[in-house]
Homo-oligomer: A and B are copies of this chain.
Amino acid sequence: MGKDKIKSNQSACDWKPSTAKKSPENKSRIIRFKKDFSWGSVKREIYKKEKESWSSVTRNVLIGSSGESAKFHLRYFEISPNGYSSLEWHRHEHVVICIRGQGKILIGNKKYKIGYLDTIYISPDIVHQLTNPYEEPFGFFCIVNSKRDKPKVLSKKMAKD
């Protein structure tokens, strides 16, 4: 199943410097889904070390922490009711696919409700934020380039619904 365990203090930030320690593995593997929205031995981590700009977000790195050579990483994020990600922008693109519950996404100055398997492309340098104003967990895949810039957090402002 690959050595996809990461210490939470090693990669607490969504962005990782190139010096981040990686397993040398690059092997094919199957990561089994479990009903509690975890996968195989992949650890659920905290979203970011800095706690000012976000609330109630976790992250599971499915592809990208086990030495995979692919040019992209696949992560599962989950936002609890009333939680929100950072209001941020960056040069790298995001692809988001909702797989649990529903949530809202701010893209630029517009906010959209998103539900099951809705797929979102966020182009470079667009301010965005994901929020969960609903009563169930809001879970989504987020795919990013393996080489990417560090997000810029716009403010501590919370985009409430």
Contacts and interface: CB of A to CB of B under 8 A. Distances in A.
Q: Classify chain A: how many residues form its interface, as a range.
A: 35 or more
B30 A68 contact: no
A103 to B, nearest CB: 12
A121 B33 CA distance: 14
Interface string A112-137: 10111111111110101000000000
Number of copies: 2
A26, A31, A115: residue with the most chain B Cβ atoms closer than 10 Å: A31
B29 A124 contact: no
A146 B31 CA distance: 23
A122 B107 CA distance: 33
A23 to B, nearest CB: 13
Interface in A25-81: 26-33, 39, 62-63, 66, 68-72, 74
Interface of A: 2, 26-33, 39, 62-63, 66, 68-72, 74, 92-93, 95, 97, 99, 105, 107-108, 112, 114-124, 126, 128, 141, 143, 145-147
